[in-house]
């Protein structure tokens, strides 16, 4: 009986009479390229890099194969090579010695510290490199938190004051874009006002608008030794169960003077990237974080998937979701793939 029904359907609706055949737009590479809805370009990518005190230092991070901590001299060489490959934007993160860490993150305010000195060196040697610098207390904090901890509580307003002064130190050193990654309320406004009052109106702010309390940051915290010494970051980073809350954060950041909005992590939050890019006219960045990178690298090493193809598909998904800028540890590898 089933066979008779199938033959009846074919007779009534012969395939030869179909007017719409989506496969016609997939029939060869050139037509697929012609109708592609999203295209990934090297200019869309920003390469996160790790800085450490020392000289001649290039130290691989165990949980992030192919990613290193660099001394300033080696960082200059790495960025020179990346510029030759066509990468022009870099996010710089400092790994600070434990003896320089304290509860108030005072080393982050030191204009002669490792971070501002490296920024000055890079901008003097490689002025064409665009530098995004990180504003948060955790790299410098003995507590490992993004804010000032008093009696187990993360103090918001007192932290914002520290962050604004930290941003000023980085901007005066030559940072092109300030990246507050702390998720304190009101920090974008405080940073914008501080920069403007000091004649630094042209320094941009890329706000970590929707930064979620995520498990995918683990390898990054290994790279900087910046994990919280107690508790977690759930009172200030966003709850992974929430999506509409990102709109509130985006509205506040835009009103307070942000030039870019960011979603972090990227792949588990493609819906949030799409939402922010649909609602706001500001460019939306997405951070393809260390855990996302490490998963693909581990699966590739195990032979469970093709790492190169997984890299491209993942980055394309982030772009398709609406990201104008993708911070990714795959940036150099992607550039080398394009060079063939």
Could you say which residues of the chain have pLDDT below 70? 1-17, 224, 226-227, 231
Strand ranges inside 14-129, DSSP E: 45-52, 58-61, 64-70, 89-95
d(CA 121, CA 226): 25
Quote the pLDDT of residue 86.
97
- How many structural domains does the chain have? 1
Structural domain contains residue 36? no
Q: What is the pLDDT of residue 228?
A: 72
pLDDT in the model for residue 3: 60
Q: Which listed residue (52, 101, 233, 264) is catalytic?
A: 264
- Of 268, 157, 129, residue with least CA distance to 211: 268
What is residue 6's predicted lDDT score, i.e. its pLDDT?
55
pLDDT at site 255: 98
Whether 8 maps to a domain, the answer reads: no
Residue 7: exposure state from Cβ atoms within 10 A (0-12, 13-18, ≥19):
exposed
**Which residue, among 112, 185, 175, has the nearest Cα to 146 in the 3D structure?**
185
Confirm whether 234 is a catalytic residue. no
- CA-nearest of 270, 265, 279, 245 to 323 is 270
Residue 195 resides in a domain: yes
- Strands 45-52 and 89-95, bridge-based pairing: parallel
Task: Count Cα atoms within 13 angstroms, Cβ side, for 103.
Answer: 10
Residue 162 lies in a domain: yes
Whether 13 is covered by a domain: the verdict is no
DSSP codes of every residue in 224-241: HT---SSS-STTTSBPTT
297 is catalytic: no
Task: CATH number of the domain at 85, please.
Answer: 3.20.20.70
Q: What are 62-120's pLDDT values in tens digits? A: 999 999 999 999 999 999 999 999 999 999 999 999 999 999 999 999 999 999 999 99
Classify residue 11: in a domain, yes or no. Answer: no
Residue-number span of the structural domain to which 99 is assigned = 45-339
In a domain, 18, yes or no: no
Of the residues 211, 233, 297, 319, which is catalytic? 211
User: Would residue 299 count as lying in a domain?
Assistant: yes
């Amino acid at each position: 009986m089933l066979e008779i029904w199938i033959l009846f359907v074919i007779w009534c609706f012969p395939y030869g009479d179909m007017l719409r055949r989506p496969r016609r737009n997939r029939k060869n590479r050139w037509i697929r390229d012609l109708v592609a809805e999203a295209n990934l370009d090297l200019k869309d990518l920003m390469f996160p890099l790790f800085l450490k005190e020392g000289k001649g230092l290039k130290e691989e991070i165990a949980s992030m194969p192919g990613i290193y901590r660099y001394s300033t001299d080696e960082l200059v060489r790495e960025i020179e090579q990346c510029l030759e490959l066509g990468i022009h934007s870099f996010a710089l993160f400092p790994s600070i010695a434990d003896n320089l860490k304290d509860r108030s993150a005072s080393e982050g305010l030191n204009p002669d510290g490792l971070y501002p000195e490296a920024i000055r060196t890079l901008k003097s040697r490689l002025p064409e490199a665009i530098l995004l610098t990180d504003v948060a207390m955790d790299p410098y904090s003995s507590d490992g938190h993004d804010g000032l901890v008093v009696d187990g509580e993360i103090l918001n307003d007192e932290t914002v004051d520290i962050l604004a002064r930290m941003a000023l130190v980085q901007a005066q050193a030559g940072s092109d874009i300030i990246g507050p990654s702390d998720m304190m309320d009101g920090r974008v406004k405080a940073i914008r006002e501080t920069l403007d009052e000091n004649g630094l109106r042209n320094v941009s702010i890329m706000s970590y608008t929707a930064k979620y309390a995520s498990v995918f940051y683990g390898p990054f915290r290994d790279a900087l030794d910046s994990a919280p010494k107690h508790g977690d970051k759930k009172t200030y980073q966003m709850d992974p169960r929430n999506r509409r809350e990102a709109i509130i954060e985006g509205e506040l950041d835009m009103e307070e003077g942000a030039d870019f909005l960011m979603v972090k992590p990227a792949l588990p939050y493609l819906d949030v990237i799409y939402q922010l890019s649909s609602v706001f006219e500001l460019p939306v960045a997405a951070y393809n974080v260390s855990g996302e990178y490490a998963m693909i690298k581990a699966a590739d090493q195990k032979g469970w998937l093709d790492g190169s193809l997984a890299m491209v598909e993942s980055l394309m998904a982030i772009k398709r979701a609406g990201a104008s800028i993708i911070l990714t540890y795959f940036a150099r590898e992607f550039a080398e793939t394009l060079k063939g």
